[in-house]
Chain A
Amino acid sequence: MLKSFVLQMARRGFLASSMRETRRQKCSECFKEVYQWKNKDNRPTEHCEINVAEEAKRANLSLETIYHLENLSLVDFSSGAAIARLASAIRYADRLKDIDVSGVEPLFSLLENETLPLREDEITEGQQKEDVIRNAKVTFEDFYVAPPGNIALEQDKKYDSFLNNESPLNAGQQKELSSVELKKVRRQA
């Protein structure tokens, strides 16, 4: 404790070391630069107010769409801040619709002037069963083993509370680990 105080004094000068530590950083939600108190667990405090419901409405983001996106991408949104970020990303991409592209053929690939080369119909590969199933952890009599059918994701999360601005922004978000906790996790792994 004394050692760190002395080091601080040496590094930043006498006056600065007596002030409670602050830091200047961008708020991750509204991107403004603010001074924030550095708290013990190093988590940035929220300073701005985001209206999740309004952001979602402006981006035409409904509850069904959020569940649908989760199913497709297997990304867990889990917090109001994440939904607000998604909504702002959608609105950013929507600006593409303002461009007039009538009469322009879309460029789908830089290979569009090439011709697809064709192959003669002959058996040149195969019979490499060992190589093919080598990476599978579980096999059964030369078959891959997979769970039965498609298991639908559970949809019991309360996203409507975020969309109605009832829950705080960061509720549900996984707590960022402090440096001490990070070291513990790394040692265990």
Chain B
Amino acid sequence: MILCLQIARQCRRYLHTYPLLQGTRNRPPKGQKSDAQAEPKQQTDGWSGVIGLEIHAQIKSKSKLFSGSGTEFSAPSNTQVSLFDCATPGTLPVLNRRCVEAAVKTAFALNCTINPVSLFDRKHYFYADLPTGYQITQRYKPIAASGWMEYVQVVNKQPHKHIVNIEQIQLEQDSGKSIHNPQDNNSLIDLNRAGIGLMEIITKPDFTSGEQAAAFVRELVLILKVLHVCDVRMFEGSLRVDANISVHRKGEPLGVRSEVKNLASMKFISKAIDYEISRQVKILEKGEKVVNETRGFDLKTGRTYPMRDKEILQDYRYMPEPNLPPLRLFNSENSQIVPQGQVDIAVVKKELPELPSVKRTRYLEEFKLFPIHAAMIVADERLSSLFDAAVPMAKNSTPQNVSTLIMNGLVGILNTANLSESAEEIPVKPKDFALLTDMLSEEKVPRSIVLNILQDLVKDGSGSTDVAKVIEDNKWYQINDEAELGALCDRVIAEDSESLEAIKAGRMKAFNALMAKVKTLSKDLANMKLTKGIMEKKLEIKATKD
């Protein structure tokens, strides 16, 4: 034992003296704390909830974290399992580089400090879907720590900015899937999912309500999608959220917390957290104590229930993983030589796409879009790429015109066309979209025609239609000439004497009938705004707002 101590003293490895790799230079903007007015009304008599989240995001990689088997969802049972995944003695783990790059990308996006040296640990517990009896994770020296993220919570249609602190990001293995079979009183175990890489993102307990937590998860989901690190299908299990909830009165120490596991959608998250807070408040007001336990959430009843299997307080007996040496990350910017096959942080940083918050700020400040338009376009990557490409091409329209056409026209068409979510691009070329926007803002083509053309483009999908030519061939130009419009109005007035009499009698609804007639007569090409003015002048009536 004394010998061990001497060796330990000689082999001093000052891990803390490795230069820390900063995620980004950005620190949370000084003085910008969570808006005080956004804090929800205290639920009951001065009790406030304290919530921390643990998010498990499955890394989108072709093979698993420590073995070479595939990761597809819904493969036939136990076909994507290698001998390491089913814990055959003698097999060893080998780390997947793509998973490390994914974790580093996420660390940059969440403004974390990246640890240049990180270690793996074993977390022991017994369960049928964990063949080895332990999970390889990174509890004590994870790949990234101490980050922050800004998110927006909409309260009464007002957006409020919040900042949440991220405790750490770690790489870990997923467990298999167990299908409970109550009729035969057993469980069926499928190990296809066992060993897939997970990123666990642990936040500090900065949330005070379920709504805040749901808003944060929404923003995080968007970031993970944009980074292409996780295909966030919560119902398929690619993203799982666990919440640690406790209540306390302000100024008093934190209460006993309980954990609610497996919240599978935003609605679940906010409802489960709010129910759990109210449940704990009720218990404490009775004078009883809250038990530290693991609970699940049932959407049908809207209540959390204790999970029978997890009644015993788990002692995970963490120990360093003896088969894995330290994971080192290199940074060529600090003039480090990156060994063959290792991860270079500088390369990962260069390949980072534009983050949603940065994009949103750009849209709001540079292009002056409406906040709701900015939020919705940023939320869908395909729309934002279309927008970014079309704006410089649309020479005669403002960016607001482009965004308005997207939001009020294209989105509706895409929804009805049932475009699958996995489609990479929208089948409308930016050049065509820019042309249509120009035509619309110059009032050369009427809006209904524009929408029809968009619909045809989406249906066609090939992108080979020459829009200008189509408009030219069909002569779909808007009639803006006042003389021509006047002539049309006269024709309609002459033909439709009934409506004329109705208007003279005072029934203004007949005015709409006349306008409709002009529209059909002109084959939808009349400029209805101008026509209205002209018709009103002709009939010598005051302008009525229909």
Complex CA distance for A144 and B178, rounded to whole angstroms: 9
Interface contact A125-B187, CB-CB below 8 Å: no
Q: Confirm or deny: B15 has a beta carbon within 8 angstroms of a beta carbon on chain A.
A: yes
Residues in A whose Cβ lies below 8 Å from that of B15: 105
**B62: contacting residue among A123, A127, A144, A152, CB under 8 A:** A123
Complex CA distance for A145 and B128, rounded to whole angstroms: 9
User: Given A119-B95, A132-B83, are A107 and B7 also a contact pair (CB < 8 Å)?
Assistant: yes
Residues in B whose Cβ lies below 8 Å from that of A156: none
Interface contact B97-A105, CB-CB below 8 Å: no
Q: Confirm or deny: A131 has a beta carbon within 8 angstroms of a beta carbon on chain B.
A: yes
Complex CA distance for A74 and B390, rounded to whole angstroms: 67
User: Given A105-B12, A105-B13, are A129 and B78 also a contact pair (CB < 8 Å)?
Assistant: yes
Interface contact A72-B315, CB-CB below 8 Å: yes
Interface contact B97-A144, CB-CB below 8 Å: no
Complex CA distance for A141 and B473, rounded to whole angstroms: 63
B-binding segment of A40-48, A108-116, A168-176: A108-116
**B96: contacting residue among A105, A119, A125, A150, CB under 8 A:** A119
Within 8 A of A (CB), among B62-95: 62-63, 67-70, 76-86, 94-95
Complex CA distance for A96 and B15, rounded to whole angstroms: 24
Within 8 A of B (CB), among A137-174: 140-150, 152
Q: Confirm or deny: A22 has a beta carbon within 8 angstroms of a beta carbon on chain B.
A: no
Interface contact B325-A124, CB-CB below 8 Å: no
Complex CA distance for A127 and B180, rounded to whole angstroms: 24
Interface contact B94-A105, CB-CB below 8 Å: no
Residues in B whose Cβ lies below 8 Å from that of A7: none
Interface contact B62-A109, CB-CB below 8 Å: no
User: Given A72-B317, A112-B325, are A131 and B188 also a contact pair (CB < 8 Å)?
Assistant: no
Interface contact B128-A131, CB-CB below 8 Å: no
Q: Confirm or deny: B526 has a beta carbon within 8 angstroms of a beta carbon on chain A.
A: no
Q: Confirm or deny: B98 has a beta carbon within 8 angstroms of a beta carbon on chain A.
A: yes
Interface contact A146-B187, CB-CB below 8 Å: yes
> In the complex, how many residues of chain B place their beta carbon closer than 8 angstroms to a beta carbon of chain A?
69
For B85-119 the 0/1 string (1 means CB < 8 A from A) is: 11000000011111110000000000000000001
Complex CA distance for A13 and B67, rounded to whole angstroms: 69
Interface contact A124-B68, CB-CB below 8 Å: yes
Interface contact A109-B83, CB-CB below 8 Å: no
Interface contact A116-B326, CB-CB below 8 Å: yes
Interface contact A107-B8, CB-CB below 8 Å: yes
Complex CA distance for A143 and B83, rounded to whole angstroms: 16
CB distance from A173 to the nearest CB of B (A): 26
Q: Confirm or deny: A34 has a beta carbon within 8 angstroms of a beta carbon on chain B.
A: no
User: Given A104-B9, A105-B12, A123-B63, are A149 and B81 also a contact pair (CB < 8 Å)?
Assistant: no
Residue of B nearest to A108 (CB): B320
Complex CA distance for A121 and B324, rounded to whole angstroms: 18
Instruction: Work out how many contacts link A and B, with CB atoms closer than 8 A.
Output: 163
Interface contact A126-B4, CB-CB below 8 Å: no
Complex CA distance for A149 and B308, rounded to whole angstroms: 8
CB distance from A126 to the nearest CB of B (A): 3
Interface contact A128-B188, CB-CB below 8 Å: no
CB distance from A65 to the nearest CB of B (A): 11
Residues in A whose Cβ lies below 8 Å from that of B85: 132
Interface contact B311-A118, CB-CB below 8 Å: no
Within 8 A of A (CB), among B231-247: none
Residues in B whose Cβ lies below 8 Å from that of A105: 8, 11-15
User: Given A71-B312, A112-B13, A125-B67, are A131 and B189 also a contact pair (CB < 8 Å)?
Assistant: no
Interface contact A118-B342, CB-CB below 8 Å: yes
Q: Confirm or deny: B466 has a beta carbon within 8 angstroms of a beta carbon on chain A.
A: no
Q: Confirm or deny: B190 has a beta carbon within 8 angstroms of a beta carbon on chain A.
A: yes
Interface contact B189-A145, CB-CB below 8 Å: yes
Residues in A whose Cβ lies below 8 Å from that of B370: none
Within 8 A of A (CB), among B31-62: 61-62
**B83: contacting residue among A131, A141, A152, CB under 8 A:** A131
Q: Confirm or deny: B182 has a beta carbon within 8 angstroms of a beta carbon on chain A.
A: yes
Which residue, A99, A117, A144, A148, has most C-beta atoms of chain B within 10 A?
A144
Interface contact B126-A150, CB-CB below 8 Å: yes
Q: Confirm or deny: A120 has a beta carbon within 8 angstroms of a beta carbon on chain B.
A: yes
For B175-204 the 0/1 string (1 means CB < 8 A from A) is: 000111110011111110000000000000
Interface contact B188-A140, CB-CB below 8 Å: yes
Interface contact A116-B327, CB-CB below 8 Å: yes
Residues in B whose Cβ lies below 8 Å from that of A133: 78
Interface contact B96-A121, CB-CB below 8 Å: yes
Residue of B nearest to A106 (CB): B8
Residues in B whose Cβ lies below 8 Å from that of A189: none
CB distance from A112 to the nearest CB of B (A): 6
CB distance from A76 to the nearest CB of B (A): 17
Complex CA distance for A145 and B190, rounded to whole angstroms: 9
**A147: contacting residue among B7, B12, B128, B190, CB under 8 A:** B128
Q: Confirm or deny: B29 has a beta carbon within 8 angstroms of a beta carbon on chain A.
A: no
Complex CA distance for A147 and B99, rounded to whole angstroms: 33
CB distance from B520 to the nearest CB of A (A): 60
Complex CA distance for A149 and B79, rounded to whole angstroms: 24
Q: Confirm or deny: A101 has a beta carbon within 8 angstroms of a beta carbon on chain B.
A: yes
Q: Confirm or deny: B339 has a beta carbon within 8 angstroms of a beta carbon on chain A.
A: yes
Q: Confirm or deny: A68 has a beta carbon within 8 angstroms of a beta carbon on chain B.
A: yes
The 6 closest A-B pairs by CB, nearest first: A124-B68, A126-B69, A146-B128, A125-B82, A121-B98, A143-B188
10 sample A-B contacts, Cβ–Cβ < 8 Å, listed by A number? A104-B8, A105-B12, A105-B14, A107-B8, A114-B325, A117-B94, A118-B342, A126-B68, A126-B81, A129-B81
Given contact pairs A115-B339, A148-B181, A150-B312, a sample of 14 additional A-B residue pairs in the complex whose CB atoms are under 8 Å apart: A72-B315, A108-B119, A118-B100, A119-B97, A124-B63, A125-B83, A128-B83, A129-B78, A129-B79, A132-B81, A142-B77, A142-B78, A143-B190, A148-B180
